Structure 1
């Protein structure tokens, strides 16, 4: 018989609906039951693409013996971390304090007052591999609650106090010591893997905020090693097994240092952030291989991760048919049977490392150990011809792979992650001149704003199968506001700029800390939890405070909104201690700080309404990497947003020709012909690679 989770919309919760565990979703029914029955709560948090979450379910939550013990001694609550990141943040902090590490599945034991007193991550059902068994853990916790309850409650109260202090952050500092970005870059240099790219050793994560920071640092300093670290990392990831060479898109991370063996799940946020990285790098150095990665990844999202209503789905699992990575791996015989021509199959196996012994449990994950140019030289052919051959071969294998059993997919739509992907599509569409990507961004933006917004104009966090629910978090507002700003930059449709400001106004009203500065993760009218967090650290996604400060800085500098600039500065200062002690862990906040402290150029392109040359000029400008330039289009006499009135007022084309008006650091330059300005920016804006 299905348990209470059968009434939920989350695919992760629904996966547990037929467990013999008497699961509750988080809510009043469960919390009241714990108080009424004076039972501790067993809180289990995970997500649908989590491999070890599936393992613990099969081993323990499907076990009748373990379920019977859980049901007798605990109130069992199952939470999807993607639906409730507020709960995940608080109790992950608790697990890290208790054990020194964290991860999913997360298993936490709470008092009926919701204070944690014991926790961990994955436990096997019985003792093995040097770990205690889940059965032992349950008996020990139940014994402690029955026989040493006062001690457990005292520990929980002390732990909760520490969680509240962590969540509140430190008091704002009066100033940030200089050189924070340089310190972060030096920290990256210390951990940079010169051979394989990326930072640190196994397991290796993409860290897109680091790449963003390196590209911005290079744009200011022209430090060649900063650019090298970014480019080598992007190249190695794009050639590695972490990248899906047939279908496009990136897996979550690599279990080794060489980007070869991924943890095969694909997350929407990783792909959004990495598309943005590759767009920035493409704008900077113009390598065609980056355009290919951008297109393939965007096509993957459009093909496999886009809801018919317009929003983007959340994740794809690592497993299919009960085996991790089975959907993605190949043998030489499979390649030979599909490609028919012996020489083409041999070439494909050489280029993509498909061998008899395999590189993953006897099978082969497609990856390129060398650049395509190297293989062309070995095969005594041209790089262009080899690329064409490999593209045709990949197409054959892709369609054959489509007949395999696909990994499971979590098709819920999250406002925050959609914001990241909308921004990526907007940037990709503008940089590549691809209208389809801009249309996908517009459609998803319209979907979130229409279907995931309540009658009061407040965002809702999650949507699935016609139902939107859960009050939005800071990430939802800040990521979506950033996406709306990117939509304006890509299309110059002023409604997106107005929407960006509206979203930030709501965030300021309901999330901003008027006393200490910075934004709380939850709104002032959110469900009361044991702590209210402020998030300044980046995780797998950028910090909500970092994005909020960046959007406020952009809006303030573009529109002259001094209040927004002040709030941006206060937000950065609220995280100043984080920037001082751990600059590399707060890259997004550093990016906001950099924009606030640096001169930003406001560029207005003024043109006649029917001037056909504007499209070409904009295409050229959109192809440039200009992280400190805010571009505005003033074409014709069409109605303009009040937000831009002070900036565009009086700026008209001279002699009927497109004209550039550029202002920087509180002064404006003389207007110049766009025909002269744009080629000069093009000449100075592109970098020849390799530089080093």
Structure 2
């Protein structure tokens, strides 16, 4: 009996009709393995994973292979996005045994869950140096029968080693200082691909957190090399095939080293992180390409991932495949362009989008690129719009994984709130606010004081408790939303989440674990401080704790933030690309961080936007290129002045800028306010800004030009 039919995970539901007798992760599977005295076969993947689909079709849908799996093993299917803790421990085991890892992940374990054999994708017949999956199933079964004592001993030893390695970070160094931060940029400069942008070779991943680190480093030090690496990388990605030139949004990674052909799946976390990085690049430089990417990526998130309805929030991802073919939705040839656009516009579009006769992808198809700006912008927008509509109406859209992941929605809240404030689009702030409301309503159990990691259709996944990255990224998003809207409920909610972080995820030495102290016991308690596709729970916690400490003056939160960064220095010297967010937070520590309190009165229902917000889809920025920060004509002069101060602060590039804002008129009474606002009166009845740094505050000001100077 396949037990996945009642799963909440779309990935597990994809396997509900397999002839494999799948179990979900849990006590039932372990008990059955002990009863039958057979190993566990743990298969881990996620809904948008192309090779997960391939292995499912080749092996898990094969009656003969499924029969062998059912006879010899208790088979467990895990969605890594629902259970990152389970994924983390078995990924560590897979990497230790094989030197690499990825998904689908295939792990054989004792009935107690201790791994003794692991790998990733296995084909149905032996090829490319890999045994067939059937051969592997037979060989592992034979080893379990013939040399079980050796197998169990090997599993025990591996688990002990992994548990020991997880605690090594407890003795790591302190917060990276200015010398270490500069050294990390030097390492990145040596690894930088000056011709194509990015770091390393193929496959090449968008370095979203490293971009943020470099932007903060440039803002703090003026380092021109740091900014140049960001500019080159962001432009190359925005012009390449990894970016959807018709619909916006970034694919997971590029299979080549020049951003031409993506692995087509699109993830919420990638796009939230990149949206924020491009937004901050726009803020720092006024770059026009960055502004285009910000607007289009935000539009893509709202159009393709926004769930609306009773649940709300953002879905997790879009598949790489359509009708079983990778990239089918996105690739074109010249004839297809002509079919949609006609001869003249079709030929022009082929040139503009670099659609070649031989193709840049497979089967003579090309992934659209925009290697340079078109001369005729109006024509380009018309052509782009017609291609977008044709693709939407005539092609089957990729499948969507519609489960809500708390951590990734926290990243979306931060990105959209800031983007709405900086580009004058109130609908982005509204989406951030609605997502925060959903997280509080659906994912937060106020009675238990705990956060659930996933939900679907407005129902929390009770078997998926929040891990450190969930608490930390949601707190980060809430604090960003508070800085935009001034609504104290988000500051208070973030405080509740961070209380759990300090009480349940940290031990007496200051080490942060990825799972809570009372969470399900796994083969070891994971504590990975390295940033990968998204911020590590440890570095995300460091950032949120640092911001909260600046708002409240809490030494406990500041000390915990600095403890969370202890391992970052070691990574900075050896592998800074795996510490991007940790180093970005360390840049904020080195800068102070800069703390700004804005006091005064602003009108009800107008928080987080500037005058005329949204009317020009992103041209109203804090760069002085169209922003009328004074507010609408029906606002009071005091409210207009307050809003002008608010916009100047958001225009600042100060690393890790922390903003405390007087609540808007009409905010519910009794809400707790940040200590940063305490004792900060208006000046002669006029709204004022107080800028502090390194425990020293400057003279409060009501003058925009003076405030801009203080923020430099």
Smaller-chain TM-score bracket = over 0.9
1-side partners of 2:565 and 2:344: how far apart? 58
2-side partners of 1:336 and 1:177: how far apart? 56
1-side partners of 2:198 and 2:573: how far apart? 23
> Unaligned 5+ residue runs, structure 2?
603-635
- Cα distance 1:580–1:335, how it changes in 2: closer, same or farther (>3 A)? closer
Query: Is 2:340 the partner of 1:338?
Result: yes
Tell me the equivalent position of 2:645. Answer: 617
Q: Could you tell me which of 557, 562, 567 is aligned with 2:555?
A: 562
Matches within 5 A, 1:219-618: 219-308=219-308, 309-340=311-342, 342-361=343-362, 362-369=364-371, 371-372=372-373, 375-376=374-375, 386-403=376-393, 404-454=395-445, 455-469=447-461, 470-514=464-508, 516-573=509-566, 577-579=570-572, 581-608=574-601, 610=636, 611=638, 612-618=640-646
1-side partners of 2:456 and 2:186: how far apart? 44
1-side partners of 2:592 and 2:333: how far apart? 55
> Unaligned 5+ residue runs, structure 1?
377-385, 686-692
2-side partners of 1:298 and 1:175: how far apart? 37
Tell me the equivalent position of 2:687. Answer: 658
Deviation of 1:36 (Å)? 0.9
- Cα distance 1:389–1:680, how it changes in 2: closer, same or farther (>3 A)? farther
Aligned residue pairs: how many?
667
- Cα distance 1:18–1:649, how it changes in 2: closer, same or farther (>3 A)? closer
Tell me the equivalent position of 1:632. Answer: 660
1-side partners of 2:156 and 2:143: how far apart? 16
Deviation of 1:453 (Å)? 1.9
Deviation of 1:598 (Å)? 3.1
Q: Is the 8 A contact 2:645 2:689 kept in 1?
A: no
Q: Is the 8 A contact 2:52 2:104 kept in 1?
A: yes
Matches within 5 A, 1:102-251: 102-173=101-172, 175=174, 178=177, 179-251=179-251
Q: Is the 8 A contact 1:518 1:572 kept in 2?
A: no
Deviation of 1:401 (Å)? 0.6
Q: Is the 8 A contact 1:608 1:656 kept in 2?
A: no
Deviating more after overlay: 344-353 vs 11-20: 344-353
Q: Is the 8 A contact 1:44 1:108 kept in 2?
A: yes
Tell me the equivalent position of 2:620. Answer: none
Q: Is the 8 A contact 1:494 1:640 kept in 2?
A: no
What secondary structure is seen at the aligned counterpart in 1 of 2:113?
A: coil
Deviation of 1:547 (Å)? 1.1
What secondary structure is seen at the aligned counterpart in 1 of 2:78?
A: strand
Deviations 1:467-525 (A, max 9, x none): 212211111100000000110111121211111111100121211112x2132111111
Deviations 1:627-669 (A, max 9, x none): 2432333379986854424x33343332333333222222222
1-side partners of 2:664 and 2:409: how far apart? 33
1-side partners of 2:270 and 2:173: how far apart? 35
Deviations 1:384-434 (A, max 9, x none): xx2221111111111111121111111111111111111111111111111
1-side partners of 2:572 and 2:185: how far apart? 13
What is the CA RMSD across the aligned residues, in angstroms? 1.9
Q: Is the 8 A contact 2:273 2:411 kept in 1?
A: yes
What secondary structure is seen at the aligned counterpart in 1 of 2:81?
A: coil
What secondary structure is seen at the aligned counterpart in 2 of 1:672?
A: coil
- Cα distance 1:679–1:160, how it changes in 2: closer, same or farther (>3 A)? closer
- Cα distance 1:563–1:603, how it changes in 2: closer, same or farther (>3 A)? same
Deviation of 1:599 (Å)? 2.5
TM-score normalised per structure 1: 0.93
Deviation of 1:175 (Å)? 4.1
Deviation of 1:623 (Å)? 3.1
What secondary structure is seen at the aligned counterpart in 2 of 1:171?
A: helix
Deviations 1:320-340 (A, max 9, x none): 011100000112222222223
What secondary structure is seen at the aligned counterpart in 2 of 1:170?
A: helix
Deviations 1:80-117 (A, max 9, x none): 11011101000011111111110010000001111100
Tell me the equivalent position of 2:52. Answer: 53
- Cα distance 1:164–1:317, how it changes in 2: closer, same or farther (>3 A)? same
1-side partners of 2:113 and 2:601: how far apart? 63
TM-score normalised per structure 2: 0.90
2-side partners of 1:417 and 1:680: how far apart? 35
What secondary structure is seen at the aligned counterpart in 1 of 2:659?
A: strand
1-side partners of 2:20 and 2:685: how far apart? 74
Q: Is the 8 A contact 1:104 1:122 kept in 2?
A: yes
Tell me the equivalent position of 2:701. Answer: 672
What secondary structure is seen at the aligned counterpart in 2 of 1:156?
A: helix
2-side partners of 1:170 and 1:605: how far apart? 39
